[in-house]
Structure 1
């Protein structure tokens, strides 16, 4: 088989298939139709026609042949040209050319080329599998005209009465009948409950009108809630003074004191046996800095249990320099001891606790802000 197969396949997908130097095959949609002469109903189809003026090669047929035969495009064009020459020679020799599943070419009495498509092939893909069916006419029933009444006889007039209502019989389940009878009672119970709820809410709100709020459920009273008024005074938290932990009474036993200056990690100190309570300090007394003087009988000395510590040093040379600096300022600074690798230097030492506390407070407000009290 030559190019007839390719022409037949392309007509299912394209409305125009051109055979170079021969002509073009065209398809046109045709709806379903009735053949009254043969009493046959034909399905929708595509009518096939031929135009001998469409001879320009569009490459569609050559590309199809090249893909099917797996040859070059130019070789496919040459094979089509050879096939067309064979068709023309056959037409001149026999006057008739039949292309399988496409149609038949012939020449009329005047020598013009004519084309007759194959009616058995329907190129419409949507109508695939449909065949012509017979159209059998259906006989119509004869219409009988009513007979005219005889002369002298009055026509009988029948009065139609409306049909009597027939009681409905429910053939459903007994449960459905019970539900239908129960529905009115349910609606009545729901309405009664709603009325009782609204009545109770009304009397409850009227009984306590002072508790009405904007966000409440009161629908009858439009009262404002009492405005919030803050308290005149706010409670203040009592922050304990960390120095109170250091200022234990004389002879308070073993206590924990921040001897190294680290308040969070105090050290245990043995203050000896409990002694007599210290007399109460006058609340009107104002602490004044104690300035050492040779003429002051209560001037600080290097003796006493209460030492106002000015610093702790890991290197003794630094402790000595600090002592010289404090002595040059008029203080009785001296080295207390070495505790855990630190040399503790006292600016003053006192025999009485009250004097030591007053001196420590005075130094904190002046040149030694980090001074603290050591009891030995």
Structure 2
């Protein structure tokens, strides 16, 4: 037969335990309780309820029994069926089933199975080792002082023993621990004549008297610098603060503008070329010229012939908008060498495409063959270029 201690061992670790075919125990947390009449504080515990409708096995009890007994799961389920049949038989005979550290099961006259939990064992693991704590009630109690003998001389006591009598007992007021002395019911001790009373210094100490003034004084410089630093220094622009910024008497020299002559390097070196000099060596069949504004920006310029000068064979160029515009670009190639990128642009232009160097990204010159306003148009044109043997991909920028 299965020992009943298995039930308590499982209920220590779980809040629900089902005995297949018999019923289940359901636990819930019960907080600490105070019994003012008994003067007892009970620790938190686990309250158990028995439900006879929980008869479907969840495998918890069978799995635990199989591990403890070192048997198979099917054998463990068979043992649980025998346990349920035995307990049902005992209850039908009117017997009580005692489960160790859990409680007692019995059947009432109405036929309902009742359960009474063991109140002397706490199934809550977090309350392990905690016991009930007793405390003194707030009610005042009167204690009668034990009679004492008068102080008399030894010789006098021998000669007249009838003079040695007990003093009258006195009633003392006992105030429990944790209660305060209420006004109108003070407890005082009357010192004897031989006792010397040493007065206690009852002068009130002004604890915390100067701290509020000290805190107020400390807030003055804090408030000053909270205004001074952001308003009188450049900490908000630079994001850095220096020790000299805390000096309110420091004078900052005014910024004076001084004109500097620009060096003849970089972009300015290319600005002195006029348009005729830049385009004089271009072939007549080129329609778009990529003007290099700086090392990262090329401006496409379309070259058109003026009707007035067409008969003379001279070409006048004007700056107009690029042939294609938009944020979706078809990239035909990327080159680390600018010369190779320009060679591809020239080759594509000779074929009739408005190619240009779009930008330089991570050291690569990206050559675009066309730009579009939306992605669908770029994808359609990409298929057209692919049919002509030109491989491209879409870049959104």
* Alignment TM class, shorter chain as reference: 0.3 to 0.5
Larger radius of gyration: 1
Name the TM-score, length of structure 2 as normaliser.
0.37
